[in-house]
């Protein structure tokens, strides 16, 4: 299968400022690509480059095998949903949705049929005669989606379409977009700064920082094998614990030494065959630090830790302990007996461990 969207060594400058550096991404038809990263990292710029709304400074973008460098947005066979929705204020909802078809000279009967189809799909039939100013935020969002859906393009582009909605609506619209993707089988490129949105929607995630792609992978790859400290910290909530540690070669393999505020350092048995530098940062997700005895496995190792904080969160209880000079979060069962100030046996599941180099931040294993 040839990629529907292929971005090769793309760069983008505004004047002397480099906004995007050497971006390489390819996706297959039906993929849901999410571009995620902190605000200002160049996600919107990249999306605008794909749409042809911003000229690129280097590299190439091709859609369905065709080089897009000289192609204007209207001929790229794309549809886009904007963060601000960008509905045409003087047109009714119906006119907003059919504007693109009207401009392209689609006949009136087809326009009406497609409008009815999309309106039913998004449940906006009662709104068709209203103007954007008379709609709520959620309704505007639906109309913006409708304007894109009615086009049936090769590529859907979304720029933070949910970020202006309140939390509850955001979650329900998120599932609707996911359903839509599954039903249409369409290819989508979706920008967000919300890593949960990225994890729940994507078939493929691109994590960006400062205009540089940090990692590309499936949500599981990104979550379980973050390529560097930035990705490890950015993806997942609560964030991955990143604990400074020292390694020592022993006969049995590598020993990992983590300081504790009181008493001797904690010693964990590292993997058998692994070449690690002396100073490392050990990454473990909160769900891989549990109460001793709750999980079995060759790599589950227990150690006594002092609990500083207990945070019940309903389904789970998070406890915080200081290790290697960092606040380390563990995810325990809701029924845990953990008490702040008391010692508790915590189990560390090193099957899921990540090691990073403290200086470069790169993943070591």
Ligand X SMILES: Nc1ncnc2c1ncn2[C@@H]1O[C@H](COP(=O)(O)OP(=O)(O)O)[C@@H](O)[C@H]1O
**At closest approach, how far in Å is the CB of 19 from other proteins?**
16
Instruction: Select 44 or 329, whichever has its Cβ closest to Mg ion.
Output: 44
- Does residue 161 interact with ligand X by CB under 6 A? no
The one segment of 40-48, 93-101, 163-171, 180-188 that binds ligand X by CB under 6 A: 40-48
Name the strands in the sheet holding 204-209, side by side, starting at the edge strand that comes first in the sequence: 78-81, 155-159, 188-192, 32-36, 204-209, 212-217
Taking Cα atoms as reference points, which of 1, 25, 105, 12 lies closest to residue 55?
Answer: 12
**At closest approach, how far in Å is the CB of 77 from other proteins?**
10
- Binding-site member from 4, 19, 135, 350 for ligand X (CB under 6 A): 19
**At closest approach, how far in Å is the CB of 326 from ligand X?**
28
Interface contacts to Mg ion, rule CB under 5 A: 44
40 binds, among ligand X, Mg ion, other proteins, none (CB under 5 to 8 A by kind): ligand X
Cis amide linkage into residue 152, ω under 30° from 0: no
Interface contacts to other proteins, rule CB under 8 A: 48, 51, 53, 72-74, 78-80, 82-84, 86-91, 99-100, 103-104, 147
**At closest approach, how far in Å is the CB of 78 from Mg ion?**
17
Longest dimension (CA), the chain: 79
Instruction: Select 44 or 241, whichever has its Cβ closest to Mg ion.
Output: 44
- Does residue 7 interact with ligand X by CB under 6 A? no
| Terminal-residue alpha carbon distance, the chain | 31
From residue 1, alpha-carbon distances to 66, 88, 176, 332 in Å are 15, 38, 28, 44
CA dihedral of residues 146, 148, 151, 153 (deg, nearest 10): -140
The backbone torsions φ and ψ at residue 142, rounded to the nearest 5 degrees and listed phi first, read: -65, -40
Taking Cα atoms as reference points, which of 323, 322, 313 lies closest to residue 340?
Answer: 322
- Does residue 96 interact with ligand X by CB under 6 A? no
Query: In the bound complex, which residue of the shown chain has the CB atom lying closest to Mg ion?
Result: 44
Q: Which of residues 43-72 bind ligand X (CB under 6 A)?
A: 43-45
Tokens of 25: 């991404």
Strands (E) across 64-103 are located at 66-67, 78-81
**At closest approach, how far in Å is the CB of 84 from other proteins?**
5
The one segment of 35-43, 166-174, 286-294, 356-364 that binds ligand X by CB under 6 A: 35-43
- Does residue 192 interact with ligand X by CB under 6 A? no
14 binds, among ligand X, other proteins, Mg ion, none (CB under 5 to 8 A by kind): ligand X
């Amino acid at each position: 299968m040839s990629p529907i969207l292929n971005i090769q060594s793309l760069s983008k400058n505004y004047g002397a400022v480099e906004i995007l550096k050497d971006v390489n991404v390819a996706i297959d038809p039906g993929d849901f690509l999410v571009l995620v990263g902190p605000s200002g990292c160049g996600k919107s710029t990249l999306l605008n480059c794909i749409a042809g709304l911003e000229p690129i400074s280097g590299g190439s973008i091709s859609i369905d095998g065709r080089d897009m460098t000289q192609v204007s947005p209207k001929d790229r066979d794309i549809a886009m949903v904007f963060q601000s929705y960008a509905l045409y204020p003087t047109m009714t909802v119906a006119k907003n949705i059919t504007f693109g078809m009207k401009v392209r000279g689609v006949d009136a009967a087809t326009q009406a049929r497609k409008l009815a189809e999309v309106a039913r799909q998004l449940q906006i039939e009662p709104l068709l005669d209203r103007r954007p100013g008379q709609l709520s935020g959620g309704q505007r969002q639906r109309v913006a989606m409708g304007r894109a859906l009615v086009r049936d393009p090769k590529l859907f582009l979304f720029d933070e379409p949910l970020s202006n909605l309140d939390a509850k609506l955001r979650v329900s619209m998120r599932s609707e977009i996911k359903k839509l993707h599954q039903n249409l089988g369409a290819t989508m490129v979706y920008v967000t700064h919300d890593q949960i949105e990225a994890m729940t929607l994507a078939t493929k995630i691109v994590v960006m920082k400062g205009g540089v792609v940090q990692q590309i992978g499936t949500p599981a790859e990104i979550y379980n094998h973050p390529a560097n400290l930035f990705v490890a910290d950015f993806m997942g909530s609560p964030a991955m614990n990143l604990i400074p540690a020292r390694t020592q070669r022993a006969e049995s393999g590598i020993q990992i030494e983590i300081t504790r505020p009181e008493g001797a350092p904690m010693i964990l048995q590292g993997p058998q065959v692994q070449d690690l530098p002396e100073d490392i940062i050990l990454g473990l997700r909160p769900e891989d630090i549990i109460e001793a005895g709750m999980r079995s496995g060759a790599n589950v190792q227990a150690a006594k830790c002092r609990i500083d904080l207990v945070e019940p969160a309903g389904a789970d209880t998070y406890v915080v302990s200081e290790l290697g000079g960092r606040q380390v979060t563990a995810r325990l069962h809701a029924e845990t007996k953990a008490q702040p100030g008391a010692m508790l046996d915590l189990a560390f599941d090193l099957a899921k461990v990540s090691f990073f180099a403290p200086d470069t931040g790169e993943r070591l294993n």
